[in-house]
Structure 1
Amino acid sequence: MIWEELTCQLQSLASDNLLRRRRTLESACGPYAVIDGKPFLAFCSNDYLGLASHPALMEAVASSVRRWGTGSGGSHVVSGHMQPHEELEKALAAFVGAERALFYSTGYMANIGVVPTLVGRGDAVFADRLNHASLIDAVQLSRAEHRRYAHNDMAHLERLLSASTAKRKLILSDAVFSMDGDLAPLEKLAELAERYDAWLVIDDAHGFGVLGRNGRGSLDHAGLPFSPRLVYIGTLGKAAGVSGAFIAGSDTVIEWLMQRSRSYIFTTASSPVLASAICASLELIANGDDRRSHLQKLITRLQNGLSGSRWRLLPSFTAIQPVVIGENDAVLKVSEGLRDRGIWVPAIRPPTVPVGSARLRISLSAAHTEEQVDTLVQALKELA
């Protein structure tokens, strides 16, 4: 029977300690998560600025739902593009310094929407080997040739570009890599895109709101201005504390995406309530230097606290602080040891990360305190 194969595959995942498990939270997103009635000090969330439960966003939602209701009723290109969506897109474009922006329902939809709209058969995409799964899927959907270069290896990338005879070329990279926490060499990527007449698509899921002046993102952090060939993707469900994503770029690129991007056209527009909440979040991000400063202090405190211990922190100055453990059973044991101490840090295993590099993915937030970080450090030292 065809379903018996699924049973065998699930059993294989279980024997390799690769089964994922969902946990139901009984609390709002914050430093503490209540599961089965028990509070855990949580270092799991991508709510880097601690905005997911901010009163200003709650008030924006309450006010918006009274004015606009809960649903959009249609796709953006039919009847679902409402005034809050329009105001949000203009605010996003102005915030990152682009000519125009387009609001998508999720980051995944933005990523799989942009690549197939810019390239197709006979073209080539040059992608960092550690790109997010959504970017990998985006290339496969485009049917373009998929050339992967070693992580952040610009010499390798240039060799691939120079040898390519593709009609159109597209360089594709995360800005901040979600499992390593390091930053792509954005200036060099832009230089290579210019030299080889390629599109440059940057997914800034983990940099938007955290890096750059006033949280404008990784491009601003790198001092990289927009050009006609640069396409920027920002995620709004992480540091912004809401959900959705946007693509920013030249007016021509955004118009083309609006006309041809399937994941934008063929889906119901997000609730106008979300758009209103994101507009409120942008104001908090723009005025959030104190939050970003506190977050950097926490990062330094964690790194100093684990310095000299057996745990190997990957080099990252971002809120993502990965601790490489090694094998699946070992990382699960450490994660369970933390849970026994009332601390929740997720164990990340293959295929999300390479075999043999299973890790704890510590996510810090401006909502955490120094004492909470010290509690995590002490627990890790005890487990070491």
Structure 2
Amino acid sequence: MERIVDRLTEIKKQGLYRDLKYLSAPQGPHTVIDGREVLLMASNSYLGLCNDERLKAAAIKALQEYGVGSGGSRLTTGSYRLHQELEQALACFKGTEAALVFNTGYMANIGAIAGLADKSWVIFSDELNHASIIDGCKLSGAKIVIYKHCDMEDLYQKVKEFQGCPSLIVTDGVFSMDGDIAPLDDIVRIAQQFDALTMVDDAHASGILGPNGGGTGELFGLKDKIDMQMGTLSKALASEGGYVAGKQCLIDYLRNRARSFIFTTALAPATVAVALAALEIVEQEPEPRKVLLENAQWLCTRLKEAGFKILENKTPIIPIIIGEAEKALQFSQALLEEGIYIPAIRPPTVPPGTSRLRLTLMATHTREDLNYALAKIIQVARELTIIKP
């Protein structure tokens, strides 16, 4: 235990210590943290559906009809009609033959990658891919080849080097910490040239990007060209869980091979019902997506004009790059004192020297909310000399 205490002390000295903030109100533009109302500018509930009355009604109806827990794994007693309906709806939404629901996005990634590949495979992974992709690659036992972030020439040369091997190219669709979009058209072209499979983690794009909210595959017009489309139910869809969509044979294979699907209790029926209702809202109501992306671009532009280092993107994720972990933490804490919650993102989540405030918008943020946040962010940043007065 002494070693653990020493290591914890070192983590604190480096400004990398993490604690929890407890919410005591619904996840919306305004919530309550530690007994205080704050403007929430960090939620992945991009469409602001976490407190939607229609979704609450769907959960209540499912509770009354099916009870509370699922009672078992999907392959024993835990598969409900709602699970089947959701998987069919997701397959339609993503333009694939079938889909398989997992309990979390993390479990979807490790289950799909480790279930598909083994030590005879080569996996090509973007250097900024999500931790769940990284862990899935490691669990598979495959040879892992990291390519430079969104660098297609680097990817091309590395795939070419290993041509002839069973291979998978895996990337985030939208990178969760930078908010940029992978060049899927080039990735698919390279994969087709060398007979590699493709997998896209669309957790931060599904429900947001594309004409119908179908994600990056739809945005690029490539839904039928991507072998595995992974996504989550916990962001735009305001529920819990993850999924993989693809050809029927792939989904049948993963149902029999993905350990994170096989060896866990199924999602509760109410959770599944919420995801189904949210998916229907996404498909029928395009306006919130439009408002969300317009507001994100407006705020991104204003922050750049104020002198912040902002990464270019066309998503609701706006990373404000600070650099030092301790400085980012200080900035976040000062904003919280002003009634705005934007957590500091520090290593190992992001590379050393790139600590940041990861600001995210919801479609339910008003322009008044954004103007208030902008003024306070600029004010505090000037006080801390993060930007010039």
Percent identical residues: 39
Provide the TM-score with structure 2 as the length reference.
0.96
Secondary structure of 1:39's counterpart equals strand
Residue pair 1:122, 1:166 contacting (<8 A) in 2 also: no
Where does residue 252 of structure 2 map in the other structure? 255
Where does residue 376 of structure 1 map in the other structure? 373
Whether 1:72 and 2:94 are equivalent positions in the alignment is no
CA distance in 2, matches of 1:154, 1:304: 28
Partner amino acid, structure 2, of 1:285: V
CA distance in 1, matches of 2:121, 2:164: 5
Which blocks of at least 5 consecutive residues in structure 1 are unaligned? none
1:345 to 325, 337, 342: 342
1:323 to 320, 325, 328: 320
Shift, 1:35, TM fit? 1.7
- Runs of 4+ in structure 1 deviating by more than 6 angstroms, as ranges, are none
2:309 to 309, 312, 320: 312
CA distance in 1, matches of 2:96, 2:284: 20
Provide the TM-score with structure 1 as the length reference.
0.97
Residue pair 2:116, 2:257 contacting (<8 A) in 1 also: no
Secondary structure of 1:101's counterpart equals strand
Residue pair 1:107, 1:245 contacting (<8 A) in 2 also: yes
Residue pair 2:176, 2:204 contacting (<8 A) in 1 also: yes
CA distance in 2, matches of 1:362, 1:66: 38
Where does residue 36 of structure 1 map in the other structure? 34
Residue pair 2:179, 2:317 contacting (<8 A) in 1 also: yes
Note closer, same or farther for the CA distance 1:166–1:352 as it changes in structure 2 (3 Å cut).
farther
Where does residue 234 of structure 2 map in the other structure? 237
Shift, 1:165, TM fit? 5.5
Instruction: Give deviations 1:294-351, integer Å, cap 9, x for gaps.
Output: 1122112212322322211110110100010111121112112211211111111111
Residue pair 1:123, 1:166 contacting (<8 A) in 2 also: no
Residue pair 1:301, 1:373 contacting (<8 A) in 2 also: no
Instruction: Give deviations 1:62-105, integer Å, cap 9, x for gaps.
Output: 00111111111111111211101011111111111110011111
Where does residue 386 of structure 2 map in the other structure? none
Instruction: Give deviations 1:252-306, integer Å, cap 9, x for gaps.
Output: 1000001111111111111111111111111111122110111122112212322
CA distance in 2, matches of 1:372, 1:183: 26
CA distance in 2, matches of 1:225, 1:358: 34
Shift, 1:166, TM fit? 6.3
Partner amino acid, structure 2, of 1:299: A
Where does residue 97 of structure 2 map in the other structure? 99
CA distance in 2, matches of 1:166, 1:54: 50
1:132 to 130, 138, 152: 130
Secondary structure of 2:51's counterpart equals coil
Partner amino acid, structure 1, of 2:259: R
Where does residue 164 of structure 1 map in the other structure? 162
Whether 1:197 and 2:201 are equivalent positions in the alignment is no
1:333 to 322, 330, 334: 330
Secondary structure of 2:296's counterpart equals helix
Note closer, same or farther for the CA distance 1:289–1:185 as it changes in structure 2 (3 Å cut).
same
Secondary structure of 1:81's counterpart equals coil
Where does residue 150 of structure 1 map in the other structure? 148
Instruction: Give deviations 1:358-378, integer Å, cap 9, x for gaps.
Output: 101001000111111111111
CA distance in 2, matches of 1:187, 1:301: 27
Where does residue 272 of structure 2 map in the other structure? 275
Residue pair 1:301, 1:370 contacting (<8 A) in 2 also: no
CA distance in 1, matches of 2:87, 2:175: 25
Whether 1:210 and 2:208 are equivalent positions in the alignment is yes
In the comparison of the two structures, how many residue pairs are matched? 381
